[in-house]
Chains A and B, each alone.
Chain A
Amino acid sequence: MSTMSTLSTSFGDAAIMLRRNVKHTVRNPVTVFQAVLFPVVMMLMFVYVFGGAFKVTGAYVDYAVPGLTVMAITYGLGPTAAAVKGDMAKGINNRFKAMDVSHGAVLAGYVVSTTVRSLIADAVIVGVGFAIGFRPHASFVQWLAVIGLMLLLAFATSWLTVALGLAAKTVESAGMATVPLIMLPFLSSAFVPADTMGTGVRQFAEYQPFTPIIETLRGLLSGGRPSTGDAFAAVGWSVGFALVGYVWAVATFRRRA
């Protein structure tokens, strides 16, 4: 078979796998709740319950939305990890492998469906945000940059999650493996500025990957210029996540499936 036709077969397979994974998301109420509704609930909690007590410049909803979009991305990862492990455990991936469906197509099906789901969750967060008073000042180009960074982060964490799911021993532990990714936004500048935290936590918050990502989103949405250092760190961390996740996922899939 020529390289071109192999490639077009792989793309075709990936599209078929993507359709399957999209059906999974829509039909699993737990996934829809965890990935889309729960972040909205968290947003309402932070804005209406806790937010009043936090000291930030400007309206709290304007401060919180960038972090909430990152949290919406990470909250949706658990169901993906569990689904990946479930396919392995039930022998479904062995079935695909024996049918000569390429590794890339199976993995891309997970990654693209998770990324799309994350972006939908972010759109919902931003939409509900507008409804409760979120007033960004970003220009058109800044909005494009915001969407680009969200897309990059969602893509990167999806690869990492697929790898975590493949490497997990059980379906339950696969879901649990994404908990650190879910917890990281809480220990960042997502909900309160890092300089209001205790010394140890503050240092962690300043150097962990999600803080520069959130600060960059916040800077862009406020219509200002995010710091160059933060922007580079945000893209660097995301690309790093994507590469580590990709290499780890492909190696694990080859070995285990």
Chain B
Amino acid sequence: MKSSAIAVSGLRKAYGDNVVLDGIDFEVPTGSVFSLLGPNGAGKTTTVHVLTTLMRADAGAVRVAGHDVLTGIKEVRAVIGVTGQFAAVDDLLSGRENLRLMADLKRVRSGGQVVARLLERFDLTESADRMAATYSGGMRRKLDLAMTLVGNPRIIFLDEPTTGLDPRSRRAMWGIVRELVADGTTIFLTTQYLDEADQLADRIAVLDRGRLVAQGTPDELKRQVPGTHVRLRFAGLRELDAAAGALPGSTRDDQELTLRVPSNGDSTSLRALLDKLDQQAITAQEFSVHTPDLDDVFFALTGHATHPTQAATQDSRAARATTEAIAE
């Protein structure tokens, strides 16, 4: 099927004078993963609320599974599953009872079996009969997503599903998302983690202050920024000066004491670069090869600061998680 699972055009929403969504357009093909990427306050949750019939837009057309979200509310609600930004689990019910509540409300046949299978799939069987209040953050998130999956919704909305999770739980969540896609489910995912969008999404839209500043596949977005480069860090300005003189075409950052040298990253060109430094007897304190990742894309597109907080994961690709302190 070639039809769009989600089609959005000219979407606008303002709270008084505060414009949250300033005319955004995108389409999500059926069976794909679409990621809306942006810092806190960019308008991600508002977008999810409009797409899931929880909020009316001021202007624009939104179709989900072919139904208009204003005139076809029931039809839309029948095919979607929504996992909000905070784990919406009932603390005073056990994991099993939470799932059973969903199964009952959706009038799922043989609910007990459906619940048991979900508990098993999400590795919650052992704690199934404990109250959700005693669950860890990662378990709550898993239960939250499992609750969304009751009744097999065809289109699933995940609003920052891994915010606040430890790296292991994040990876587990990514694995679950990949399984869902393999089953043909369409996934709309918001995230402020660039590596998450890169890992999971077929298409990414970058949202900044209510506007989409870029859209495309992860590779298309990466092509929009300068290519592979070598980054060198020096002990002082004297070495930086000398290296900048020896390596024409490089760009320097005096504050960071770093030099950025364009390079295709293969062993021959790297050896040539190191030889040049050797000839001038210049020692670099740090040497790293960068292929452009979505961090670079984000900085290049939005032109304003985000605050990287942790250089994460064993990946040599310098996958980085960013948290964002732009005031809402």
Contact B92 A95 (CB under 8 A): no
Judged by a CB distance under 8 angstroms, whether A49 is at the interface is no
Contact B54 A94 (CB under 8 A): yes
| A interface residue count range (under 10 / 10 to 19 / 20 to 34 / 35 or more) | 20 to 34
**Chain A residues, Cβ within 8 Å of B131:** 27
**Chain B residues, Cβ within 8 Å of A97:** 53-54
Binds B, one of A16-24, A159-167, A204-212: A16-24
Contact string, B81-120, partner A, CB cutoff 8 A, digits 1/0?
A: 0101111111011000100011011110000000000000
**Chain A residues, Cβ within 8 Å of B101:** 16, 20
Give Cα distance in the complex from A110 to B199, angstroms: 43
Binds B, one of A98-106, A123-131, A181-189: A98-106
Contact B92 A96 (CB under 8 A): no
Query: When the two chains form the complex, which single residue of B54, B86, B89 contacts A98, counting CB atoms closer than 8 Å?
Result: B54
Min CB–CB distance A101 → chain B (angstroms): 6
**Chain B residues, Cβ within 8 Å of A91:** 84-86, 88
**Chain A residues, Cβ within 8 Å of B77:** 98-100
Query: When the two chains form the complex, which single residue of A1, A92, A257 contacts B90, counting CB atoms closer than 8 Å?
Result: A92
Give Cα distance in the complex from A61 to B228, angstroms: 87
Contact B97 A99 (CB under 8 A): no
- CB nearest to B106 among chain A residues: A99
**Chain A residues, Cβ within 8 Å of B84:** 91, 94-95
Q: Interface centre among B78, B84, B105, B107, by most A CB within 10 Å? A: B105
Contact A23 B105 (CB under 8 A): no
**Chain A residues, Cβ within 8 Å of B92:** 23-24, 27-28
Contact A101 B86 (CB under 8 A): no
Give Cα distance in the complex from A28 to B87, angstroms: 20
Give Cα distance in the complex from A20 to B100, angstroms: 11
- CB nearest to A26 among chain B residues: B92
Judged by a CB distance under 8 angstroms, whether B80 is at the interface is yes
Contact A95 B88 (CB under 8 A): yes
Contact B88 A94 (CB under 8 A): yes
Q: Given A98-B77, A99-B105, are A20 and B93 also a contact pair (CB < 8 Å)?
A: yes
Give Cα distance in the complex from A101 to B97, angstroms: 17
Q: Given A99-B106, A101-B105, are A94 and B97 also a contact pair (CB < 8 Å)?
A: no
Judged by a CB distance under 8 angstroms, whether A13 is at the interface is yes
List CB contacts (< 8 Å) of A82-118 with chain B.
90-92, 94-101
Judged by a CB distance under 8 angstroms, whether B192 is at the interface is no
List CB contacts (< 8 Å) of A52-100 with chain B.
90-92, 94-100
Q: Interface centre among B77, B88, B89, by most A CB within 10 Å? A: B88
Judged by a CB distance under 8 angstroms, whether B191 is at the interface is no
List CB contacts (< 8 Å) of B170-221 with chain A.
none
- CB nearest to B159 among chain A residues: A91
**Chain B residues, Cβ within 8 Å of A27:** 92, 131
Contact A95 B78 (CB under 8 A): no
Number of A-B residue pairs, CB cutoff 8 Å, is: 54
Contact A95 B85 (CB under 8 A): no
Judged by a CB distance under 8 angstroms, whether B147 is at the interface is yes
Query: When the two chains form the complex, which single residue of A23, A24, A92, A100 contacts B88, counting CB atoms closer than 8 Å?
Result: A92
**Chain B residues, Cβ within 8 Å of A100:** 73-74, 77-78
Give Cα distance in the complex from A3 to B80, angstroms: 23
Min CB–CB distance B167 → chain A (angstroms): 25
**Chain B residues, Cβ within 8 Å of A95:** 82, 84, 88, 147
**Chain B residues, Cβ within 8 Å of A99:** 77, 102, 105-106
Give Cα distance in the complex from A1 to B93, angstroms: 32
**Chain A residues, Cβ within 8 Å of B47:** none
Judged by a CB distance under 8 angstroms, whether B32 is at the interface is no
**Chain A residues, Cβ within 8 Å of B89:** 90, 92
Give Cα distance in the complex from A24 to B90, angstroms: 9
List CB contacts (< 8 Å) of A141-165 with chain B.
none
- CB nearest to A15 among chain B residues: B104
Query: When the two chains form the complex, which single residue of A12, A23, A98 contacts B52, counting CB atoms closer than 8 Å?
Result: A98
**Chain A residues, Cβ within 8 Å of B74:** 1, 100
- CB nearest to B151 among chain A residues: A99
Min CB–CB distance B263 → chain A (angstroms): 48
Min CB–CB distance A256 → chain B (angstroms): 11
Give Cα distance in the complex from A95 to B74, angstroms: 14
Contact B105 A96 (CB under 8 A): yes
- CB nearest to B53 among chain A residues: A98
Give Cα distance in the complex from A181 to B147, angstroms: 37
**Chain B residues, Cβ within 8 Å of A1:** 74
15 cross-chain CB contacts under 8 A: A13-B105, A16-B101, A20-B90, A23-B92, A27-B92, A90-B86, A91-B86, A94-B54, A95-B84, A98-B82, A99-B77, A100-B73, A100-B77, A101-B105, A257-B54
Identify the A interface with B (CB < 8 A): 1, 12-13, 16, 20, 23-24, 27-28, 90-92, 94-101, 257
With A24-B92, A100-B73, A100-B77 known, 11 other A-B pairs at CB within 8 A are A16-B101, A23-B93, A27-B92, A27-B131, A90-B86, A90-B88, A90-B89, A91-B84, A94-B88, A98-B53, A100-B74
